[in-house]
């Protein structure tokens, strides 16, 4: 049960970060956050695929697909016009949390045997 909750939380935070970045790109907002924040943002973007692989290796496939699709739709409501400014300002913190959760899941719950 703990793995399901950790995966769901990590995927929720990652998809919030991804949706925020997508809306910023659509709005042609220039990223002036600096090199380190940009590198962490790139690592956060890669974390989506890494979490997806970890989910398929550790959990039933139907849970991974269902949670990912459900949270993706939920993020459309969470990151909208009213809340975009908040999430955009907090994007570096959100990216750090995403990368930390991804690394934690892979190191603590290695899915490919002992």
On whether residue 26 sits in a domain, the answer given is no
Mean pLDDT of 37-43: 90
Mean pLDDT of 60-84: 93
pLDDT of residue 108 exceeding 80, the answer is yes
**pLDDT band, very low/low/confident/very high, at 114 (cuts 50, 70, 90):** low
- The 10s digit of each residue's pLDDT in 76-103 is 899 988 999 999 999 999 999 999 999 9
Q: What is the pLDDT of residue 34?
A: 84
On whether residue 28 sits in a domain, the answer given is no
On whether residue 67 sits in a domain, the answer given is yes
Question: Into how many domains does the chain fold?
Answer: 1
Percent pLDDT > 70 in the chain is 99
On whether residue 27 sits in a domain, the answer given is no
Domain that holds residue 56: 2-21+33-108
- The 10s digit of each residue's pLDDT in 45-59 is 999 999 999 999 999
Which H helix or E strand runs over 43? Answer: helix 35-58
On whether residue 89 sits in a domain, the answer given is yes
Asked if residues 4 and 63 have their Cβ atoms less than 8 Å apart, the reply is yes
Distances from the Cα of 103 to the Cα of 49, 89, 96, 106, angstroms? 13, 24, 11, 5
């Amino acid at each position: 049960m703990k793995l399901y909750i950790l995966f769901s939380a990590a995927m929720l935070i990652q998809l919030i970060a991804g949706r925020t970045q997508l809306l910023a790109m659509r709005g042609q907002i220039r990223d002036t956050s600096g090199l380190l924040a940009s590198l962490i943002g790139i690592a956060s973007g890669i974390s989506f695929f890494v979490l997806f692989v970890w989910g398929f290796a550790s959990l039933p496939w139907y849970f991974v697909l269902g949670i990912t699709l459900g949270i993706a739709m939920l993020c459309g409501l969470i990151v909208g016009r009213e809340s975009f400014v908040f999430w955009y300002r907090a994007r570096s913190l959100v990216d750090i949390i995403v990368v930390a959760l991804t690394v934690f899941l892979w190191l603590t719950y290695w899915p490919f045997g002992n």
